Structure 1
Amino acid sequence: MNIKIRPVKRQDYDRFSNIMDQVQQLHVNWRPDVYKPANPLITKEMFEEILKEDNWYVAEDSERVVGVLEVLRRHVESPSQVTKDVLFISTMAVDEAYRGKGIGHKFFEKVKQLKEEKGCDTIELQVNARNQRAYEMYKKYGFTEKSINMELK
């Protein structure tokens, strides 16, 4: 595989949308009390707005989009926390046929590059508690737990 990470383009919509739908369905399966089916999760109108932003990327294998990445820059400044700039991975989704083939690692290489370019201090993300595969990948890559979200129904 020859994976290239690049900014999202208008012609990526169908594959982009399909990958986002796959991941949404995983969330629905794990937590139907929280997530609901949405197909498409990303409408064409929403995609047009995404194209105006500079924080969305795709992983491409031989001109086929196989993954989606969104990163957000957040400035943290308060009396109770150390001031820092965080590069937050908001979305990292890989086509089911390509999972476990190193796409996530390619995305992390891009995120590390963006962290340096944007002058951020740290990289953060959240992972669904039931997504053990992603959790293990993040740990392997060096992420550590910062906090744990809990709920009471």
Structure 2
Amino acid sequence: MIRLATHSDLDRIMVIVNEVIKEMHVRGSQQWSTDYPKRADFIQDINKRELYVYEQAGEVAGMCAFSETGHAEYSLIPFSTTNALTIKRLAISPRYRNKGISHQFIEAIKRVADEKNKQAINGDTFKNNPDAQAFFLKHDFCFIAERPDDEGDVPLYYYELTLK
């Protein structure tokens, strides 16, 4: 079941974040680290009512922010519209992978986007994060652009799913 996250979910969310960081680093992606995402990012998402969790048998198995605000550089990206929701901080515990949870998050964000009269869903990932790239392509997002990140490290890839 997907529901809005609450502050009582934060400890479990951070466990998932740490699991995912370890996996990313093993695969060569530094997209997440001890610097990002932080507990404060999730607190802000919860306070804005933009963080959703997938719960199974009373345990949070994953989370995803459906944000009304894109990242600062989004104005530089040739998305088809600015009237979009942005996927941020999607993560699923390794114990719950390959059970269709990411698909359920996509269906949920589509419903939220429809309720908010959004025309698209967008997101981004690092060039060296092929799992995230595959996620976007699997769910019919189109690759929009590549851009260096602000720190000049690994380039970012930007994706968009047009809804209307």
Distance 1:65 1:51, change over 3 A: same
1:5: how far off?
Answer: 0.4
Q: SS where residue 148 of structure 1 aligns?
A: strand
Q: What is the CA–CA distance in structure 1 between the aligned matches of 2:32 and 2:6, rounded to whole Å?
A: 28
Separation (CA, whole Å) in 2 of partners of 1:42 and 1:61: 24
Instruction: Report deviation, 1:84.
Output: 3.4
Q: TM-score, normalised by structure 1?
A: 0.77
SS class of match (2:143) = coil
Secondary structure (helix, strand or coil) at the match of 1:145 reads strand
Structure 1 Cα separation of the partners of residues 148 and 38 of structure 2: 28
| TM-score, scaled relative to structure 2 | 0.73
- Identity between Structure 1 and Structure 2 (%): 23
Q: Which of 20, 23, 31 pairs up with 1:23?
A: 20
Change (3 A) 1:47 1:140: closer
What is the match of residue 73 of structure 1? 68
State the Cα distance separating 1:55 from its structure 2 match.
0.4
Shift of 1:6: 0.1
Aligned partners of 2:139, 2:92: CA distance in 1, in Å? 17
2:132 paired with 1:134: yes
State the alpha-carbon separation in 2 of the partners of residues 150 and 40 from structure 1: 18
Higher mean C-alpha deviation, range 88-97 or range 125-134: 125-134
User: What is the number of equivalent residue pairs in this alignment?
Assistant: 146
- Structure 1 distance, partners of 2:85, 2:36, is 27
Deviations 1:63-97 (A, max 9, x none): 1100011021248889x986530111012110011
- The residue type paired with residue 61 of structure 1 is Q
The runs of 5 or more residues in structure 2 that have no matched partner are 154-164
In the alignment, structure 1 residue 117 sits paired with structure 2 residue 112: no
**3-state SS of paired residue (1:127):** strand
Q: Separation in 2 of the partners of 1:48 and 1:136? A: 28
Higher-Rg structure is 1
